[in-house]
Structure 1
Amino acid sequence: MPGSAVVPQVLESRTRDRVLQAIGERGPVTASALADDLGLTVPAVRRHLENLTDAGLIDERVIAAATGRGRGRPARSYVLSDGGHQALDSDYDHLATEALRFLSQEAGDDAVRRFAESRVGALEQRYAVELAAAGTDTTARVDALVAALTRDGFAASARPVGRTGATATAAPAGLSGIQLCQGHCPVQHAAREFPQFCDAETDAFSRLLGVHVQRLATLAHGDHVCTTFVPTTEGSTR
């Protein structure tokens, strides 16, 4: 029957979408980790990875070989490409925005705020353990936060800012500190209409780092990266 040939194609497409979504949530992630998460065989995952790479939706990264690993195929991990971000955003973020509009209309903006805080709170609980292991030094805690954010697909980085001799870099006047950047936001389009998500994340960063941080730029407002200033000058610690 003609229709019977369509079923495998539909199932194949849905599985490929699941692989793409998992990479967006967990990238960088290996084929074996994806197979474990999705209940698939590694060869099946690799087939989808090849198709997604050919389509320009994911990028491949070579993982540095561990000591004693020996010869063989180098370990590789996968992250979303710019095209992959756009593909996911077009489907999932529009649906999320519609749901948030409905929630706002039915229960008010405070309900949206509580939802945003609940969503960010789940990340905060996981990150708190890692930051606690980093100790009390603000710089070390920022490094731990960057590592956690990058692992979860936020493309995070950090660099010192403030006074360097007579030169001042991008920081609030009279302060020196760290500029924490996030190159990807999974709720970018929703946050454009509902800033409660950015506010909840900023508050969570303050609690995790133990200092009052300041959000300077966001992807949701059209900036090329989310930027948060973390003070390290005396008196910044809560």
Structure 2
Amino acid sequence: MLEQGPITAAAVADELGISPAAVRRHLDALLAEGQAYTREAPRRGQRGRGRPARLYLLTEQGRALFGHAYDDIAIAAIRFLDEHGGPDAVRRFAEARVGSIVDRHRGAVTSKKDPAERAEALALALTREGYAASTRRVGAGEQLCQHHCPVAHVAAEFPQLCEAETAVFAELLGTHVQRLATIARGDAACTTHLPVPPSGAAPLDIQIHENGGTPE
């Protein structure tokens, strides 16, 4: 399908030397997994009896199985930005990028008054953006865990992406946060600690601490 699509099941069977029935079982599996889709083949000549032939094509999800060079392009672009604009330009880019992601969900997060509920709302927002995030209670605080990072390879070279993300988390959650681990550094997940004040305590000032910093 990648090399010759749109293609019929019969044509795939001829190419592979197996039965059309066997091919259709594999094609049905690709359809069910969202890796392929179909459309009717254009009719040529007079309309005949029976159903029109179906053409099979790969979806974007299916094409992704063959790999992309997005990371290489992104790293090259940010290297160029760093070389010609300096570290401050990279930082501003990182801030704009994460800002565009969280701004779509800002109202849903900031509408929560309880810090733990804000963390849960932020995890849901991040999950919708492809970060597979969750929260868990640890001691007197909450930990926000991102189990996937779409830009991990880029962030490994440009930690400004992680730093900008941490700063936005602190601003949204209304308290200082501490980044404990990142996928970009080889950890299993990106983990951010959010201290939750005791019930009735005054709100904490927004402070950001990276890599084990101490609250002022």
Short-chain TM bin: 0.5 to 0.7
Q: Assess if the C-alpha contact under 8 Å between 2:126 and 2:132 holds in 1.
A: yes
Structure 1 counterpart of 2:137, which letter?
A: P
Structure 2 counterpart of 1:197, which letter?
A: L
1:127 matched to which residue of 2? 105
Is 1:137 equivalent to 2:120 in the alignment?
A: no
**Deviation (angstroms), 1:7:** 8.6
Q: CA-to-partner distance for each residue in 1:125-150, whole Å, 9 max, x for gaps?
A: 222111133x2110111111111111
Q: Assess if the C-alpha contact under 8 Å between 1:212 and 1:236 holds in 2.
A: no
Give the counterpart of 1:97 among 66, 70, 75.
Answer: 75
Q: Which runs of 5+ in 2 are unaligned?
A: 8-28, 37-60, 206-216
2:129 matched to which residue of 1? 152
Change (3 A) 1:47 1:180: same
Q: By percentage of residues, which structure has more helix?
A: 1
Is 1:213 equivalent to 2:184 in the alignment?
A: no
Is 1:237 equivalent to 2:204 in the alignment?
A: yes
Cα distance between partner residues in 1 of 2:195 and 2:88? 30
Cα distance between partner residues in 1 of 2:125 and 2:154? 23
Larger radius of gyration: 2
**Deviation (angstroms), 1:87:** 6.0
Change (3 A) 1:51 1:232: closer
Change (3 A) 1:225 1:106: same
Cα distance between partner residues in 2 of 1:87 and 1:107? 34
Change (3 A) 1:115 1:87: farther
Task: Say which SS state the counterpart of residue 69 (structure 2) adopts.
Answer: helix
Task: Say which SS state the counterpart of residue 145 (structure 2) adopts.
Answer: strand
**Deviation (angstroms), 1:97:** 0.6
Change (3 A) 1:193 1:49: farther
Write the mapping of 1:1-238 to structure 2, written as runs, cut at 5 A: 9=5, 50=33, 52=35, 90-133=68-111, 135-162=112-139, 176-234=140-198, 237-238=204-205
Task: Say which SS state the counterpart of residue 178 (structure 1) adopts.
Answer: strand
Q: Which runs of 5+ in 1 are unaligned?
A: 1-5, 13-45, 54-79, 163-175
Cα distance between partner residues in 2 of 1:190 and 1:218? 12
% identity of equivalent residues? 47
Q: Given the two structures, how large is their TM-score scaled by the length of structure 2?
A: 0.64
**Deviation (angstroms), 1:103:** 0.9
Structure 2 counterpart of 1:154, which letter?
A: Y
Aligned residues: 155
Change (3 A) 1:49 1:92: farther
Q: Assess if the C-alpha contact under 8 Å between 2:94 and 2:161 holds in 1.
A: yes
